[in-house]
């Protein structure tokens, strides 16, 4: 079991990724750090707490609030897809407490890096603002982590915000540039890979029907907006962007890797450039095996859930 910190901007696919992570025995998620992205950071933090209250993982991770805006530009959100509240605008979530005001996300990331070093897996599911701020605070400690798994980028495929840029990189290109330049053990899970993992609505519903109850019902409800918007945009289902990054965090063999040198363009483009590789990029995905793991672990029947549930 490896210690992990997940930086996230929940976000419907982030929510599915967190539920997957909490049911994956290979990872011990000791902290969630929230970042402005899909929604403003206060909503991202509320959503992290909502999901913790829904699933009650054990151990329960610390929640640390992070950057409220990108390093050097105004925030672009993705509320059209995720809803104004970031989780499908259901309107009936039980109330949760306000997130703690300290320590902040960068402090928590640096602290985890200092304590765990090479044992730590840092998973970034949103814009890289918090990771860049952690590097600014203590690059030496953050540079010692074992793995940085990032959902983001569009290397040889079109972007999803501009024709050439993927959302997480587009929101904060300055942060992405600093992270790429830091020499971290960076594993990028771009749209090239995540678009191979498009889950049909019926597939999710069939899996949730195996474990009826409040968790399954809530997952089906908040996921519905993503399916609805996706189908309106001509998609065959929901691309499991962030869940695939978590999948790779606990099982890197789920994808084939390519060592690449990337540079970040002014709009967050992830461009191949010449020179020594500065990351490895997920390419072909073992989609059947990934879907099996995802659907098996997202909301297992209560008989197979950890004692905390
Ligand atoms: O481009 C997909 C990424 O942007 C995912 O992390 C999704 O949650 C959004 O943040
Ligand atoms: Ca995300």
pLDDT in tens, 30-64: 999 999 999 999 999 999 999 999 999 988 999 99
Is residue 243 lining ligand 1, measured as CB closer than 6 Å? no
Ligand 1 pocket mutation pick from 10, 77, 152, 267 by most atoms within 8 angstroms of CB? 152
Q: How far apart are the first and last CA of the chain?
A: 20
Closest ligand 1 atom to Cα of 160 = 1
Is residue 214 within 8 Å of residue 56, measured between CB atoms?
A: no
Task: Output the pTM of the full model.
Answer: 0.96
Give me the mean pLDDT over the 236-244 stretch: 97
**CA 125 to ligand 2 centroid distance, Å:** 4
Question: Ligand 1: does its nearest atom lie under 6 Å from the Cβ of 270?
Answer: no
Atom of ligand 1 nearest to the CA of 242: 6
DSSP per-residue string spanning 162-208: SSSB-HHHHH-HHHHHHHHHTT--EEEE-HHHHTT-EE-HHHHHHHH
Q: Looking at the domain 2-302, which fold is it?
A: Inosine-uridine Nucleoside N-ribohydrolase; Chain A (3.90.245)
Positive/negative CA dihedral, 226, 125, 53, 198:
positive
How many angstroms is it from 37 CA to the middle of ligand 1? 8
Q: What confidence category does residue 307 fall into, taking pLDDT thresholds of 50, 70 and 90?
A: very low
Q: Where are the alpha helices (DSSP H) in the chain?
A: 12-22, 41-55, 79-82, 105-116, 129-142, 167-171, 173-181, 191-194, 201-208, 214-232, 241-250, 287-298
**Of the candidate ranges 67-71, 72-76, 128-132, 299-303, the one whose mean pLDDT is the lowest:** 299-303
Q: What is the 292 CA–ligand 2 centroid distance (Å)? A: 21
Out of 37, 154, 198, give the residue to mutate to test ligand 1, the one with the largest number of ligand atoms within 8 Å of its CB.
37
Q: Would the CB of 167 count as within 6 Å of ligand 1?
A: yes
Domain ranges of the chain: 2-302
304 has a pLDDT exceeding 70: no
Which pLDDT band holds residue 303 (cuts at 50, 70, 90)? Answer: low
The answer, yes or no, to whether any atom of ligand 1 lies below 6 A from the CB of 47, is no
Average pLDDT over residues 239-247: 98
| Residues contacting residue 146 through CB under 8 Å, at least 6 positions apart | 2, 116, 117, 118, 119, 120, 121, 185
**Which residues make Cβ contacts (< 8 Å) with residue 36, sequence separation at least 6?**
9, 44, 66, 67, 68, 69, 70, 75, 77, 126, 127, 129, 171
Residue 82 Cβ contacting ligand 1 at under 6 Å: no
What is the per-residue pLDDT for 308?
45
Residues annotated as catalytic are: 241
**Spatial distance between the Cα atoms of 111 and 99, rounded to a whole number of angstroms:** 19
Q: Would the pLDDT of 194 be above 90? A: yes
CA-9 nearest atom, ligand 1 = 10
Distance 307 CA to ligand 1 centre (A): 31
Question: Can you tell me the distance from the alpha carbon of 245 to that of 285, in angstroms, rounded to the nearest whole number?
Answer: 11
Give percent of the chain above pLDDT 70: 97
Query: Across-strand partners of 8?
Result: 34
Determine the pLDDT at residue 301: 77
* Atom in ligand 1 nearest the alpha carbon of residue 166: 1
Q: What is the pLDDT of residues 66-120, one digit of tens each?
A: 999 999 999 999 999 999 999 999 999 999 999 888 999 999 999 999 999 999 9
Question: Nearest residue CA, atom 10 of ligand 1?
Answer: 126
Residue 296, number of CB atoms within 10 A of its CB: 14
Instruction: Say how far apart CA 124 and CA 9 lie, in whole Å.
Output: 9
């Amino acid at each position: 079991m490896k210690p992990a910190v997940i930086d996230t901007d929940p976000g419907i696919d982030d929510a599915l990724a967190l539920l997957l992570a909490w049911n994956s025995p290979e990872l011990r998620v000791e902290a969630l750090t929230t970042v402005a992205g899909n929604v403003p950071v206060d909503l991202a933090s509320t959503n992290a707490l909502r999901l913790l209250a829904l699933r009650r993982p054990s151990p329960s991770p610390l929640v640390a609030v992070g950057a409220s805006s990108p390093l050097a530009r105004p925030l672009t959100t993705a509320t059209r897809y995720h809803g104004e509240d970031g989780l499908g605008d259901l309107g009936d979530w039980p109330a949760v407490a306000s997130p703690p005001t300290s320590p902040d996300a960068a402090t928590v990331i640096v602290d985890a890096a200092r304590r765990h070093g090479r044992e730590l897996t840092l998973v970034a599911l949103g814009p890289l603002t918090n990771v860049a701020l952690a590097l600014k605070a203590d690059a030496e400690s953050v540079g010692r982590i074992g793995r940085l798994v990032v959902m983001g980028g569009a290397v040889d495929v079109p972007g999803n915000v501009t024709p050439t840029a993927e959302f997480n990189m587009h929101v904060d290109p300055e942060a992405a540039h600093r992270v790429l330049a830091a020499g971290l053990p960076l594993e990028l899970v771009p749209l090239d890979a995540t678009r191979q993992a498009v889950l049909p609505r019926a597939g999710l519903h069939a899996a949730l029907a195996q474990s009826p109850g409040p968790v399954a019902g809530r997952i089906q409800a908040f996921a519905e907006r993503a399916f609805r918007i996706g189908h309106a945009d001509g998609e065959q289902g929901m691309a499991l962007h962030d869940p695939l990054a978590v999948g790779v965090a606990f099982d890197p063999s789920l994808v084939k890797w390519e060592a690449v040198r990337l540079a970040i363009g002014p709009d967050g483009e992830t461009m191949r450039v010449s020179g020594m590789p500065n990351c490895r990029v997920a390419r072909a995905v073992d989609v059947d095996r990934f879907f099996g793991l995802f659907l098996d672990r997202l909301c297992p029947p209560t008989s197979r859930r950890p004692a905390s549930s």
